[in-house]
Copies of this chain bind each other. A is one copy, B any other.
Amino acid sequence: MTEHADTFRDQVLPSDVEAVREMVRATGYFNDEEVAIAAELVAETLARGDEAGYSFLFAEAGGRVVGYSCYGLVPCSTVSWDLYWIAVHPSQQGSGLGRRLLRETERRVREAGGLTLYAETSGKAQYFSTRAFYEKSGYATAGVFEDFYAVGDAKYTYCMRLDG
Q: Are B148 and A77 in contact (CB under 8 A)?
A: yes
Count of chain A residues with Cβ under 8 Å from any Cβ of B? 22
- The answer, among B115, B116, B149, for a CB contact under 8 Å with A77, is B149
Q: Of A34, A149, A159, which is in contact with the most chain B CB atoms at under 10 Å from its CB?
A: A149
State the oligomeric state as a number of copies: 2
Q: Are B150 and A79 in contact (CB under 8 A)?
A: yes
Q: Are A145 and B147 in contact (CB under 8 A)?
A: no
Query: Which residues of A2-54 have CB atoms within 8 Å of chain B's CB atoms?
Result: 33-34, 37
> What B residues does A149 contact at CB under 8 A?
76-80
> What B residues does A77 contact at CB under 8 A?
148-150
Closest to A149 in B: B77
Q: Are A147 and B115 in contact (CB under 8 A)?
A: yes
Chain A residues proximal to chain B, CB less than 8 Å: 33-34, 37, 74-80, 115-116, 142-143, 145, 147-151, 157, 159
> What B residues does A79 contact at CB under 8 A?
147-151
**Complex A-B: 15 CB contacts under 8 Å:** A33-B76, A37-B76, A74-B148, A77-B149, A78-B150, A79-B147, A79-B149, A79-B150, A80-B148, A80-B149, A115-B147, A115-B151, A116-B148, A142-B145, A145-B159
Smallest Cβ distance from A83 to chain B, in angstroms? 15
Smallest Cβ distance from A154 to chain B, in angstroms? 11
> What B residues does A147 contact at CB under 8 A?
79-80, 115-116
Complex Cα distance A149/B143, Å? 16
